[in-house]
Every structure is written in structure tokens, then in C-alpha cells.
């Protein structure tokens, strides 16, 4: 018995040594994926992609270490990518468009090196209010304390676009709070705020939490006129419906607007690496969908829909192999057939 134990220990030691020797000389590559605050949809999405690909993506002579990082959201992700502190990120289309074009938040500081890999999901605006507040429309938010998202987050950018486009109300009409999703949910429960804009892929964890909590909440719909006003000023926003029973006790459908959430990457990342990453995402999409339902819209046939910045050459290579038509405006200048 003792000899068998010694043999087993020796075998394990040999396998460990073999593993070490096999990886000698291999390059270690770290891929850090930026997300947003815990409680929204970006964090579980980025974590799911990181975990699935860290376990399944293998490249010869490369030790890949893939991880997700909680951040303040889309704008911080852009800044960290620009400073080479982050390789990839989940961001919303409004921030991606402003950064690439050098408008809005990025006036005179365009980030032309941003590249996309795929769209991930439709990202609807979700204004949650307490029933106690008596708020039934966006205009009735006037005079109330409303969280529009963490300062510097993509949620804040989207909220500002809503208040900028809507007739009859502006940010000056509300008491603005800058809270993350979990913070917003807690503040609504303790009566500190009356409403919070928590856009994200359905269902959003913090919105789920509010609907099952003792306080009664509801989602506010846009009117047809408000949807037209938003789409006229910001064409990347499209009409959308949150189906009834998406959240517990949400008995009526909610009329809102949505844009696509994008998965982006630094343009200077190696083409082969991004090709293999893109390929692994879609070859393991069933596992990704099972791990996080918010990513079920991430499919090959929808990969290039709603993108607002050029694709990375590595992603284009994979899509062309799979017969996906790539629009001319998504082909970057560095791409070569």
C-alpha cells in the first residue's frame, strides 16, 4: 500500500514537471476585459466571456490569462483601453460612437484605435420608480431624486441622452444622484431616491432585486411622441418593448428605446489573437448562453448589427470564413485581404 502511494506521488510530480517543461518558452498574454459596476449586466457578461474563454481558448506557445474587471463603465473602459491598461471591454453604442467620432464626451479627443468584435445584446432604457413616489411618466420625474448612473459610466451617458432629447424635462428638473446599480437599488429600498435609470440586457440583476423586494416598484414607459423625439435626435436609439413578466409582478409590457451593447478591443492587438478569440466566442456560444442568459442575443448571424466603429481585422477574418457579410463602413484602413 505504501509503495502504491509513493508511486502515485511520483506520477503526480512527473506530470507537474511535464506541464512546466511543456510551457517553458511560451509567451504569457494577459487579456483584461472591462465591464461596469456589479449589479448591472456588463459585469456578469464580461465575467462569463472571460471564464468560458479562459477555460476553452488554447493557442500554441501562448499562456493565455483572461479575466474581467469591474469598472465605472463604458467611459472608464475607453480611457483604460486608450492608456493600454485594458485589452477588451463591454461598452454601449453611444459611448463607442462618441469616442470613435470625437464628439460629445470625446470632442477633440477622438479614440480612432477602437475596434469592435461583435454586438452582444439590445440594451433597453429601464427607468425604475417606486410606486410610493406616484411617478407614472418621465415628465413626472420633475422634483424627484433620480439616479442616472455612476459618474463617468455608460449608464450616465445614456441617461443624459434621454433627458437631452425628451420634450418638457431636462436634468435641471430632477435631483441628480450618481449611483451604481447596487447602490441605486439600496437607495430606493431605504427611501433615499425615488427612481433610477438602470439600462442593460434583460433581465438586469439589480432591477430583478427591486421587483422581488418588499418595496413596490414599476418601470416607466415612453410615449410614442417621446420615442420619436429620442430617435430624431439620436438615430442609434430604436423603439423597443420590455415584455410583460420580464420581472416578477411586472404585468404590463413597457415601451422604451434600446441600442446595442458592443464588445470592443484595442486596434493594436495581434490579428491572430483576436481571430482566435472571436472564433472561440462563437464556438462556445452555447456555454456562454447557459452561463448568462443576458448574452443569448450574441449570435453569429447578428454579430455585425448596430456596430458603430470598425471591426478588428482578426474578427473580419473569422466572419468572412463563416460567410458573414461585412459592411464596407466596418472595414478599418489597416485591413488587408
| CA 24 – CA 307 distance, rounded (Å) | 40
Over residues 35-46, the pLDDT tens digits come to 998 888 899 999
| CA 90 – CA 95 distance, rounded (Å) | 11
The C-alpha cell of 24 is what? Answer: 517553458
Phi, psi for residue 293 in degrees, rounded to 5? -65, -25
Residue 272: closest CA among 22, 27, 23, 11: 27
Q: Is the pLDDT of residue 14 over 90?
A: no
Is the CB of residue 117 less than 8 Å from the CB of residue 271?
no
Q: How does strand 88-92 pair with strand 27-34?
A: parallel
Phi, psi for residue 84 in degrees, rounded to 5? 60, 30
pTM: 0.77
Over residues 152-165, the pLDDT tens digits come to 888 999 999 999 99
Tell me how far CA of residue 132 lies from CA of 126, 185, 196, 215, 255, in angstroms.
18, 15, 14, 9, 21
Please provide the CATH number assigned to the domain covering 26-121+261-330: 3.40.190.10
pLDDT at position 38 is 85
Burial of 236 (0-12, 13-18, 19+ CB in 10 A): middle
Is the CB of residue 153 less than 8 Å from the CB of residue 36?
yes
pLDDT at position 200 is 86
Q: In what order do the strands lie in the sheet with 195-197?
A: 175-177, 145-147, 195-197, 127-130, 217-219
pLDDT at position 25 is 65
Is the CB of residue 221 less than 8 Å from the CB of residue 87?
no
Q: Sorting pLDDT into bands at 50, 70 and 90, what band is 19? A: very low
HSE-CB for 36 with a 13 A CA cutoff = 32
Say whether 124-259 and 26-121+261-330 share the same fold.
Answer: yes
Residue 277: closest CA among 247, 302, 243, 311: 311
Ranges of each domain in the chain: 26-121+261-330, 124-259
Over residues 75-99, the pLDDT tens digits come to 999 999 999 999 999 999 989 999 9
Q: Is 142 helix (H, G, I), strand (E, B) or coil?
A: coil
HSE-CB for 214 with a 13 A CA cutoff = 4
Over residues 171-225, the pLDDT tens digits come to 999 999 999 999 999 999 999 999 999 998 888 989 999 999 999 999 999 999 9
Give buried/exposed letters for 104-125 (b at 16+ CB in 10 A, else e): ebbeeeebebbbbbbbbbbbbb
CATH topology of domain 124-259: D-Maltodextrin-Binding Protein; domain 2 (3.40.190)
Q: Is the pLDDT of residue 281 over 90?
A: yes
pLDDT at position 227 is 97
pLDDT at position 15 is 42
Q: How does strand 217-219 pair with strand 127-130?
A: antiparallel
Mean pLDDT (whole number) for 285-312: 94
Amino acid at each position: 500500500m505504501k509503495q502504491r502511494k509513493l508511486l502515485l506521488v511520483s506520477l503526480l510530480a512527473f506530470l507537474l514537471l511535464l506541464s512546466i517543461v511543456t510551457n517553458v518558452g511560451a509567451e504569457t498574454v494577459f487579456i483584461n476585459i472591462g465591464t461596469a459596476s456589479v449589479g448591472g449586466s456588463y459585469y456578469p457578461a464580461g465575467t462569463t466571456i472571460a471564464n468560458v474563454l479562459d477555460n476553452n481558448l488554447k493557442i500554441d506557445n501562448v499562456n493565455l490569462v483572461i479575466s474581467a474587471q469591474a469598472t465605472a463603465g463604458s467611459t472608464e473602459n475607453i480611457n483604460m483601453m486608450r492608456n493600454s491598461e485594458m485589452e477588451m471591454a463591454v461598452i454601449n453604442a453611444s459611448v463607442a460612437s462618441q469616442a470613435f467620432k470625437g464628439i460629445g464626451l470625446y470632442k477633440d479627443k477622438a479614440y480612432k484605435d477602437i475596434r469592435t468584435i461583435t454586438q452582444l445584446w439590445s440594451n433597453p432604457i429601464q427607468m425604475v420608480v417606486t410606486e410610493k413616489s406616484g411617478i407614472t411618466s418621465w415628465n413626472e420625474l420633475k422634483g424627484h431624486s433620480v439616479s442616472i448612473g455612476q459618474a463617468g459610466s455608460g449608464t450616465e451617458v445614456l441617461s443624459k441622452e434621454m433627458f437631452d432629447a425628451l420634450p418638457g424635462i431636462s436634468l435641471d428638473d430632477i435631483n441628480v444622484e450618481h449611483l451604481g446599480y447596487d447602490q441605486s437599488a439600496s437607495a430606493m429600498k431605504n427611501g433615499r431616491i425615488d427612481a433610477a435609470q438602470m439600462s442593460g440586457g434583460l433581465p438586469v440583476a439589480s432591477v430583478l432585486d427591486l421587483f422581488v423586494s418588499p418595496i413596490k416598484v414599476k418601470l416607466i414607459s415612453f410615449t410614442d411622441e417621446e420615442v420619436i423625439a429620442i430617435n430624431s435626435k439620436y438615430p442609434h436609439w430604436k423603439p423597443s418593448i420590455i415584455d410583460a413578466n420580464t420581472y416578477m409582478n411586472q404585468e404590463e409590457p413597457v415601451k422604451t428605446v434600446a441600442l446595442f451593447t458592443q464588445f470592443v478591443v484595442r486596434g493594436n492587438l495581434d490579428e491572430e489573437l483576436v481571430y482566435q478569440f472571436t472564433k472561440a466566442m462563437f464556438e462556445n456560444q452555447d456555454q456562454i448562453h447557459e452561463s448568462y442568459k443576458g448574452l443569448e442575443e450574441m449570435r453569429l448571424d447578428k454579430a455585425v448589427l448596430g456596430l458603430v466603429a470598425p471591426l478588428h481585422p482578426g474578427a473580419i477574418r473569422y466572419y468572412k470564413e463563416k460567410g458573414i457579410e461585412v459592411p464596407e463602413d466596418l472595414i478599418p484602413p489597416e485591413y488587408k485581404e
